[in-house]
């Protein structure tokens, strides 16, 4: 969310940014919010003047009432001033109610005006305009046919989609045996990988209040993603970033405590509305999954450096698991409204002969901090920190890349050295059938 003062002083820049994000329908919102802001400031000015006049008028009434005891002619004057005091009080009540109404209307609009994107962001209407920046590892095709990922899992008796469908419906799964163990091993390895990078491990709440949801995510994403607990002001998290950033709501952080670097494990729950295509069946796009996340809260001048570090951590982790990846810079039209800059890390799929998303790294500037009323106490006063987030790993989708890239011609799956301690020392998984 932008600062209303920034919009007031830079309306043309805000409109140009909206155009760059291909959201022309929001251009009118800038003029609307400025008109509401002008009315609100006028109401506040008048209300302050009435508050200032209140004390002097009250004193005047008291003086005139005292004089009226000696001089009855002063009584009428005292009553007139008393009437003015009441009229002012009534008008002040109206103004205060109007201020509340205007503040709510302004906030509602401000929540949907997009953040100012970084100048380095490529301009384009949707993800088709995202730009490949760099590849890591050699993307090759093996000399044998790679089965669909659920077929690989089934060869280990490692997945049961049918039972999950009967129990919970589509978009759910049972993982079993070696595949379930592999799922947990990847998460545990990712946890230790981030701890070794200096991040503090955290297990956060899996439900958050509505004001936290409003503070951490774009409004257009909320209905499409979040599950709400019926009868409660609670939502199931779609990613642990939500509750991790929410941890700092209404907090003043001492500057010496920055940066805050946290890595968290959580289950995640998403509605995933809409049709996503045949390649996203199986466990590719699901309603429930597990995830290791990283978040950073830092000084504004440090956020670009942290952004670079964070996406490179993802590359390093995936390469340690023998998975080729690439970095894809997200274009303006593919950025959520809160984001200043974002990139995807995509893993190579030998079966599909293409890359698919496994991590998303984002710099949100001070947008989340402003919404959540986070502050940093610095030597020269309080200021808004910047917030960043990135996926470490999110199985079971990540398992698709792992299984395809480590599959052998005989159907076995090679376990990279870094993961072997988390798999009981196993170097290879042998299929059951």
Strand partners, 202: 264
C-alpha to C-alpha distance for 37 and 52, rounded to whole angstroms: 22
Asked if 310 contacts 297 with a C-beta cutoff of 8 angstroms, the reply is: no
What is the pLDDT, as a whole number, of residue 79? 66
Digit-coded pLDDT (tens) for 153-190? 999 999 999 999 999 988 899 999 999 999 999 999 99
Q: Is 415 helix (H, G, I), strand (E, B) or coil?
A: coil
Rg (CA), the chain: 29
Indicate the pTM of the whole model: 0.89
C-alpha to C-alpha distance for 146 and 260, rounded to whole angstroms: 42
Asked if 335 contacts 344 with a C-beta cutoff of 8 angstroms, the reply is: no
What is the pLDDT, as a whole number, of residue 64? 52
What is the pLDDT, as a whole number, of residue 277? 43
In Å, what is the CA distance from 404 to each residue of 40, 314, 415?
59, 18, 12
Q: Is 135 helix (H, G, I), strand (E, B) or coil?
A: strand
- From first to last of its 433 residues, the chain has per-residue pLDDT tens of 899 999 999 999 999 999 999 999 999 999 999 999 999 999 999 998 888 777 666 666 556 555 555 556 666 666 676 677 778 888 889 999 999 999 999 999 999 999 999 999 999 999 999 999 999 999 998 999 999 999 999 999 999 999 999 999 888 999 999 999 999 999 999 999 999 999 999 999 999 999 999 999 876 677 778 899 999 999 999 999 999 999 999 999 999 999 999 999 999 999 876 544 434 678 888 899 999 999 999 999 999 999 999 999 999 999 999 999 999 999 999 999 999 999 999 999 999 999 999 999 999 999 999 999 999 999 999 999 999 999 999 998 899 999 999 999 999 999 999 999 999 999 999 998 7
Asked if 325 contacts 345 with a C-beta cutoff of 8 angstroms, the reply is: yes
- Angle between helix 74-110 and 27-70 (nearest 10): 160
Per-residue burial over 19-40, b if 16 or more Cβ lie within 10 Å, else e, is ebbbbeebeebbeebbebbebb
In a 13 Å sphere around the CA of 186, the CA atoms on its Cβ side amount to 29
Domains of the chain: residue spans and CATH: 4-110 (1.10.287.40), 127-429 (3.30.930.10)
What is the pLDDT, as a whole number, of residue 170? 87
Backbone angles phi, psi at 374, to 5 degrees: -85, 140
The bridge status of strand 252-254 relative to strand 375-378 is parallel
What is the pLDDT, as a whole number, of residue 433? 73
């Amino acid at each position: 969310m932008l600062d209303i003062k920034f919009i007031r002083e830079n309306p043309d820049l805000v409109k140009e940014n909206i155009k760059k994000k291909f959201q022309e329908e929001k251009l009118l919102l800038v003029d609307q919010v400025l008109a509401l802001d002008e009315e609100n400031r006028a109401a506040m000015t008048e209300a302050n003047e009435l508050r200032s006049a209140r004390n002097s008028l009250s004193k005047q009434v008291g003086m005139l009432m005292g004089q009226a005891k000696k001089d009855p002619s002063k009584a009428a004057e005292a009553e007139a001033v008393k009437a003015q005091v009441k009229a002012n009080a009534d008008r002040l009540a109206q103004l205060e109610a109007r201020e509340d109404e205007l503040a709510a209307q302004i906030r509602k609009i401000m929540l949907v005006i997009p953040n100012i994107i970084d100048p380095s962001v490529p301009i384009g209407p949707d993800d088709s305009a995202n730009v490949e920046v760099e590849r890591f590892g050699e993307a090759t095709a093996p000399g044998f046919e790679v089965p669909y990922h659920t077929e690989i899992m089934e060869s280990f008796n490692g997945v049961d989609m049918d039972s999950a469908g009967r129990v919970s419906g589509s978009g759910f799964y049972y993982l079993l045996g070696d595949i379930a163990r592999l799922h947990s091993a990847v998460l545990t390895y990712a946890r230790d990988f981030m701890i070794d990078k200096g991040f503090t491990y955290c297990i956060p709440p899996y439900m958050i209040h509505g004001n936290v949801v409003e503070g951490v995510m774009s409004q257009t994403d909320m209905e499409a993603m979040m599950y709400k607990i019926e009868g409660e002001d609670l939502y199931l998290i779609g990613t642990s970033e939500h509750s991790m950033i929410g941890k700092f709501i209404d907090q003043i952080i001492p500057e010496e405590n920055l940066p805050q670097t946290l890595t968290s494990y959580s289950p995640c729950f998403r509605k995933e509305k809409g049709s996503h295509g045949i390649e996203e069946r199986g466990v590719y796009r699901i309603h429930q999954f597990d995830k290791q996340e990283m978040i950073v809260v830092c000084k504004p001048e440090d956020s670009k450096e942290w952004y670079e570090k964070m996406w490179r951590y993802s590359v390093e982790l995936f390469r340690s698991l023998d998975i080729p990846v690439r970095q894809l810079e997200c274009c303006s039209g593919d950025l959520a409204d809160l984001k200043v800059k974002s990139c995807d890390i995509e893993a190579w799929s030998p079966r599909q002969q293409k890359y698919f998303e496994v991590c998303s790294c984002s710099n949100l500037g001070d947008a989340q901090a402003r919404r959540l009323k986070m502050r940093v106490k610095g030597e020269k006063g309080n200021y808004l920190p910047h917030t960043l987030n990135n996926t470490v790993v999110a199985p079971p989708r990540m398992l698709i890349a792992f299984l395809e890239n480590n599959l052998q011609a005989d159907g076995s799956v090679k376990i990279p050295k870094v993961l072997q301690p988390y798999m009981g020392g196993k170097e290879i998984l042998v299929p059951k059938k």
